[in-house]
Structure 1
Amino acid sequence: MRPSTLIDMAAARRVRLPRGLAESEALQVEPDARGWFRFQRHYDAARVVVDSEAAMRRIVREAAEDDAAEGSVRLELQVDPTSYAVFVGGITPALEIVLDEARSAETATGVSIGIIVAASRTRSPFDARALARLAAQHAGVVVGFGLSNDERRGDTAEFGPAFRIAREAGLASVPHGGELLGPSHVRDVVESLHPDRLGHGVRAAEDPRLLESIVERGIALEICPASNAALGVLETASDVPLRRLLSAGATVALGADDPLLFGSRLLDQYETAREIGLDDAELAHLAASSIRASRAPEGEKRGMLRQVETWLASEPVEGAGGS
């Protein structure tokens, strides 16, 4: 959600936002229970204004517009329909609203869009199964099934049946893991949920044998530098171990996680990679890896990859940080 949209929606509903959200300040917390609580409080405060079909559609449309403006060619949005079901008559219409607006926004902006249905660790694994079945019924526009929220909540293995339902429908397995918790948690997620992509997974860099296993399995890592720094996993975004991951052969896709809360969109993550010292060829490799790890149709992927090749072959723009 755009900060301006949040402020606009909150004003219309006479909802009082936490000071940081009201002033569009980037969140900065420590990785302890109180720190996560503050992050979740801000997240919930933002979500409470999304209380209608019109609000849901506005967020999907603006997300596509903002990605198009930034130069992105593929957007995979994650949604938990449970959060909005009470306002629109259930989880099925909630998801169908998102899917319908995604198709419309894709046509309007030219950004390829896929939707990921995500369950929450704070809810029952049985709820996750219901969401997995719903996602399976819409396989195609729905491209994946995820598991989000506080990594320290719930028993990972108990969500295995939900992910099995999703995989059997051809959906990508894209759970979160390995940001707040370390390598042992990453190993648990890998063994229990069999991810195609791992949301975050940055802590895998702390265990060479685990990282080697992830590379061998072909699991892509969705690395979100701004999130890592904001939640205190790393001191700064530039401390993300990108070179270590890439040197090990990991498939890395940069992500912005929650731009509203962290004040940092996708382009900022690429700028962080540039600050770390990655050159044009390495940035192009990251972009190509994210395209290959996406669930975009193969024909679209080929066109996207050609755009990356064209960028790499082009003359540096005057004043840009080319190498």
Structure 2
Amino acid sequence: MARDLRTLPKAHLHLHFTGSMRPTTLVELAAEQGRRLPESLVDAVVDGDPVRLPASERGWFRFQRMYDAARAVVRSEEVMRRVVDEAVAADAAEGSVRLEIQVDPTSYAPHVGGLTPALEIVLDAARASAARHGIEVGVVVAASRMRHPLEARTLARLAALHAGADGVIGFGLSNDERRGVTSEFGPAFAIAARAGLASVPHGGELLGPDHVVEVLDALHPDRLGHGVRAVEDPAVLERVVDSGVALEVCPTSNVSLGVYPAVEDVPLRRLVDAGATVALGADDPLIFGPRLLEQYRLAREVHGFDDTALAELARGSIRASRASESSRARMLAAVDAWLAAPDPAAH
């Protein structure tokens, strides 16, 4: 035996709103609404068959079709609040002390009266769920590369209006990295930065180190969603490390999207050995399966991380979060206490 990973305090920094949904919730809501789910999505969420897609535009299209089908059941304030609460409850049960959940309110605005109500529902639900389940929750507003950069500016202004300790803590950019021109989203990120929001775009997963450089230059990230392919160019990885950009690494989604053939091929060890700050994430567990706890288990069982190294991964996630200084100190002390406790394997 080794120390229980469920009791290791950790921050979860890469989780998407729709993708956080419980499979049982999706099936229940689809049945209530008379919606037929795509067979591939049913296979993933009901039968538990791992999603394996090629790292191509066709593969992404198939993923997006599943995601859109899941998102289509989120059509009311009640359902939005339920999704948030179930995500927070799941993270709390796995030992998360802080969750920073990412949402694009554009997708839900038509059902609840607009962008502002959609975001405020998520923010209010996050506050209530944080109190209910005893963990901290922050919200990242994310624009989509599939939409015009002017829409990203609108979202950035909305995020800025709701910036604060109990509200929006970051601004992101998600969807297929091969779409859109990264630099054209720079003005939106500048708006968010002026409001004190963290810059947390996706990059360096479907595209290689050149794309990491584009994102670094244009969007000035504090954290990079994924970023794993920075390892393909030592100079780029060195720049990431030297600039203190944390990487939100999501091993199981990397495999499901065809970036790597197996979990053991995800360069987690290489990133850590290079000095990168790494925060493990689950990305879209509705489709990819495992949640956050499984990512830590894989780090232990597949990548050979001992408890000291796992504790350092947890510390990295906490330091990379937007928790207050006092909260970070408390969370880091709890990690130290976890590591200081006797190792069951020693008895």
Normalised to the residue count of structure 2, the TM-score between the two structures is 0.91
Which digits, 9 at most, give the CA deviation of each residue in 1:89-118, with x for residues without a partner? 110000000000000001000111000000
Match of 2:217 among 169, 176, 191: 191
What CA distance in whole angstroms lies between the structure 2 residues aligned with 1:181 and 1:242?
17
2:276 is aligned with 1:256: no
2:104 is aligned with 1:80: yes
What CA distance in whole angstroms lies between the structure 1 residues aligned with 2:282 and 2:229?
17
Q: CA deviation at 1:49?
A: 0.1
What CA distance in whole angstroms lies between the structure 1 residues aligned with 2:23 and 2:127?
24
SS in 2 for 1:57: helix
Which sits farther off after the overlay, 246-255 or 309-318?
Answer: 309-318
Partner of 2:317: 290
Partner of 2:82: 58
Partner of 2:26: 6
Partner of 2:126: 102
What CA distance in whole angstroms lies between the structure 1 residues aligned with 2:132 and 2:39?
35
Match of 1:22 among 34, 37, 42: 42
Which sits farther off after the overlay, 92-101 or 237-246?
Answer: 237-246
Which digits, 9 at most, give the CA deviation of each residue in 1:279-302, with x for residues without a partner? 110000000000000001111111
In structure 2, give the amino acid aligned to 1:6. L
Match of 2:255 among 229, 233, 237: 229
Match of 2:204 among 158, 178, 181: 178
Partner of 1:213: 239
What CA distance in whole angstroms lies between the structure 1 residues aligned with 2:40 and 2:331?
37
Aligned length, in residue pairs: 320
Matching of residues 122-133 of structure 1 within 5 Å: 122-133=146-157
- Residues 253 and 287 in structure 1, CA contact (< 8 A), matched pair in contact too: yes
- Residues 238 and 273 in structure 1, CA contact (< 8 A), matched pair in contact too: no
- Residues 145 and 172 in structure 1, CA contact (< 8 A), matched pair in contact too: yes
Which digits, 9 at most, give the CA deviation of each residue in 1:6-41, with x for residues without a partner? 001101001101123224133211101211111101
Percent identity between matched residues is 64
2:189 is aligned with 1:158: no
- Residues 29 and 36 in structure 1, CA contact (< 8 A), matched pair in contact too: yes
Match of 2:175 among 140, 149, 156: 149
What CA distance in whole angstroms lies between the structure 2 residues aligned with 1:55 and 1:233?
32
Which digits, 9 at most, give the CA deviation of each residue in 1:140-185, with x for residues without a partner? 1100000000000000000000000000000000000011000111
SS in 2 for 1:75: strand
What CA distance in whole angstroms lies between the structure 2 residues aligned with 1:74 and 1:240?
25
Partner of 2:307: 280
In structure 2, give the amino acid aligned to 1:80. D
Q: CA deviation at 1:131?
A: 0.2
Partner of 1:271: 297
Q: CA deviation at 1:189?
A: 0.6
In structure 1, give the amino acid aligned to 2:258. G
What RMSD over aligned residues (CA atoms) do the two structures have, in Å?
1.2
What CA distance in whole angstroms lies between the structure 1 residues aligned with 2:286 and 2:156?
27
Normalised to the residue count of structure 1, the TM-score between the two structures is 0.97
- Residues 73 and 111 in structure 1, CA contact (< 8 A), matched pair in contact too: yes
Q: Which runs of 5+ in 2 are unaligned?
A: 1-20
What CA distance in whole angstroms lies between the structure 2 residues aligned with 1:197 and 1:35?
26
In structure 2, give the amino acid aligned to 1:83. S
Partner of 1:136: 160
Q: Which runs of 5+ in 1 are unaligned?
A: none
SS in 2 for 1:31: coil
SS in 1 for 2:35: coil
In structure 1, give the amino acid aligned to 2:142. A
Stretches (4+) displaced over 6 A: none
In structure 2, give the amino acid aligned to 1:194. H
What CA distance in whole angstroms lies between the structure 1 residues aligned with 2:326 and 2:39?
46
What CA distance in whole angstroms lies between the structure 2 residues aligned with 1:96 and 1:22?
31
Q: CA deviation at 1:194?
A: 0.2
SS in 1 for 2:108: helix
In structure 1, give the amino acid aligned to 2:68. D
